[in-house]
Amino acid sequence: MDHLKAECKKLQTFHIQCQRRILGIRWSDFVTNSAITIKTGLPDIHVRAVINDRKLALFGHVRRLPENGIVLHFGWRRKPGRP
């Protein structure tokens, strides 16, 4: 479980770093993370909550699969040429 917490913290840090880069804020400017999210207008995401939401969505898709198993489409190919 500690491994997951560490990964979530890394993802959260990366998200804030990307926002700082977009705004052109350097590390020496001493701007708080909450001020960054207000300036960008992006919600202050919690990576763990996003992961849980995605897991639940995947479970919903798996739950709605037919009872006899996964339906695989072998031999299907895209038409040649531009889509």
pLDDT, tens digit only, all 83 positions of the chain: 578 888 888 988 898 999 999 999 988 889 998 899 888 888 777 778 888 888 888 888 778 877 776 666 666 677 778 76
Q: Within a domain: residue 26?
A: yes
Q: Within a domain: residue 69?
A: no
Q: Domain limits at 50? A: 2-63
Q: Within a domain: residue 43?
A: yes
HEC profile of the chain: CHHHHHHHHHHHHHHHHHHHHHHCCCHHHCCCHHHHHHHHCCCCCCHHHHHHHHHHHHHHHHHCCCCCCCCCCCCCCCCCCCC
Q: Within a domain: residue 6?
A: yes
Count structural domains, the chain.
1
